[in-house]
């Protein structure tokens, strides 16, 4: 089975960065949204903090992109990820996100709106990135919370 994107979501150019996930339909606050379903195109693993540092180093040395989430318990779920093969990789950060953990809508979302999450809730305290979200409450720099 191939990984397929939810037909009510599309990937298109984002004002935040690169491409993003946009809903074609309104979403009510509290609804859970599925981004994609089917077989994952990569082998996801759980790494300790030390193993994750080695994984990142290897990816950088070998020109590989990765996707990772800090689990908040000293482990990270990560995988080498070809962005175009996994729709969830197009989810952008916002300091005023409309999606929370588990892809639950934090507020009513209008059709055509970009689906965003706060990367800080999935990242360790030693991680940070420059923010491009453009929200009124933009922090300028996003720092991990875990």
Distances (CA, A) of 87 to 26, 28, 56, 107, 134: 19, 21, 21, 22, 23
Q: Return per-residue pLDDT of the chain as tens, 146 residues.
A: 467 789 999 999 999 999 999 999 999 999 999 888 876 555 778 999 999 999 989 888 888 877 788 888 889 988 876 666 677 778 999 999 999 988 999 999 999 999 999 999 988 888 899 999 999 999 999 998 88
- Return the sign of the alpha-carbon dihedral for residues 2, 20, 142, 135: negative
pTM: 0.76
Q: How far apart are CA 88 and CA 109, in angstroms?
A: 18
Pair type for strands 92-93 and 104-105: unpaired
**In what side-by-side order are the strands of the sheet with 75-80?**
45-48, 75-80, 66-70
């Amino acid at each position: 089975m191939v990984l397929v994107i939810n037909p009510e979501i599309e990937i298109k150019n984002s004002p935040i960065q690169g491409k993003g996930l946009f809903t074609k339909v309104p979403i009510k606050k509290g609804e859970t949204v599925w981004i994609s379903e089917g077989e994952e195109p990569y082998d996801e693993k759980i790494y300790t903090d030390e193993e994750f540092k080695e994984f990142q180093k290897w990816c950088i040395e070998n020109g590989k992109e990765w996707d990772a989430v800090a689990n908040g318990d000293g482990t990270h779920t990560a995988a080498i990820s070809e962005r175009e093969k996994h729709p969830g990789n197009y989810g952008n950060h916002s300091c005023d996100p409309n999606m929370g953990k588990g892809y639950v809508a934090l507020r009513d979302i209008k059709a055509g709106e970009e689906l965003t999450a706060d990367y800080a809730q999935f990242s360790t305290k030693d991680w940070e990135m420059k923010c491009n979200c453009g929200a009124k409450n933009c922090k300028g720099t996003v720092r991990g919370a875990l």
